[in-house]
Amino acid sequence: MSKPDNTPAGWLEARLPIISAFRREYVDFAMPRNLTYLWNFGAFATIALALLIVSGIFLALNYTPSVAEAFNSIETIDRHVSSGWLVRAIHMGGVSMLFAALYVHMARSLYYGSYKAPRELLWLTGLGLFILVMIAAFAGYILPWGQMSYWGATVVINAMNAVPLIGPALASWLLGGEGLGSVALHRIYVLHFVTAFSIIGVIVLHVAALHVVGSNNPTGVEPKTSADVVPFHPYYTTKDGLGLCLFLMVYAALIFFAPDLLTLANNYAMANPLVTPGDITPEWYFAPFYAILRAVPSKLGGLILTAGSLVVLFAVPWLDRSPVRSARYRPVLRWALLALFAAFIALGVAGMHKPTGLWLALSRISVAYYYAYFLILLPFLPRVEITRPEPATLRGEGA
């Protein structure tokens, strides 16, 4: 009979086995041996989100959600609060770093088929997380009450009004009055906070789903023996650690050397409802969806296309019927995917310019291909595509 463990850790483990659970899920957890650095971006996104939440709490201590004081409170944070400029730079830069990590994370999942069975729920929770991040980021973008904040919110409110039946009522509820004012700003402030903390709950679901089905890998082939896997620690803790060092170096460079690189200059002027900017331009991470919104002359049509570009992603696990997961072994799909990524980047570039001439044509071509990929190529390619043979084992793939 073994002696009872009378150490503090043993006492806690006997009553609440969190130490063994942590070791099982984050130390001994079996991971495919061949994961590349593309699998680090989930950790990057988590760190960026943690920094956003911590910095956001400190900013909230000095922010006033009213039309009369919002812009001035931001100026006070930047100029008078001790290290306020740094906290705000961390928050502003963190949004760009978070979206960059999420876009790479999603692109990797599309390329390697990480949405396929049995990982459908992992993909769906990830998309839910992405949409919550978009809502929180847009609400946060309005809070400084600069020119682009005000007119960006106006564009979205007008788009909401174009939705039949529920659109006007929803817009009226959000505004709380005749137009954008202190009531609307306060509600957007609350929405920003509630959504930010809701993201934490969805992350917990996302990670829980990952630990049930396990991680995908570049081959898309499931591990078959113990030789195909390695424990999470020390193999991937060190790999994630190195990646995080590089990620944080880029983050720091953005904060200290180019804090305004990804922010529009017009947003440093206080919102003026009487002066419309020459061109209402979104932040870079919203630009692809803004280009879709403006790709057609109809407000409702643009809104349907924009919403549909997200909704169609939820159907991807059922649109793609190929038994082969990874695009490594699907030569036609690989080029179709690369074209999809190029179309999305083209939408982002077009979204930063006026919807005229070349940019409008580029938006429409890119939107057409985006939908053609998901609704035509993805479902029908498995019928004609000749795939390459998959490896029988993950050994020899390298880590």
The answer to whether the CB of 51 falls within 8 A of the CB of 94 is yes
| Catalytic member of 186, 211, 233, 353 | 211
228 is catalytic: no
Token pair for residue 302? 């643009």
Token pair for residue 278? 């020459």
Over 248-314, what HEC string results?
HHHHHHHHHHCCCCCCCHHHHCECCCCCCCCCCCCCHHHHHHHHHHCCCCCHHHHHHHHHHHHHHHH
224 is catalytic: no
240 is catalytic: yes
| Catalytic member of 109, 114, 149, 215 | 215
| Catalytic member of 105, 116, 206, 239 | 239
| Catalytic member of 73, 109, 114, 283 | 283
Residues β-bridged to residue 32: 229
215 is catalytic: yes
| Catalytic member of 114, 192, 240, 322 | 240
- At residue 119, what is the residue type? R
Q: Is 10 helix (H, G, I), strand (E, B) or coil?
A: helix
Crossing angle for the helix pair 147-161 and 299-314, nearest 10 degrees?
A: 90
**What sign has the CA pseudo-torsion 28, 30, 31, 32?**
positive
283 is catalytic: yes
Residue identified by tokens 């490896």 is 391
Token pair for residue 71? 């812009």
> Which residues are designated catalytic?
211, 215, 239-240, 283
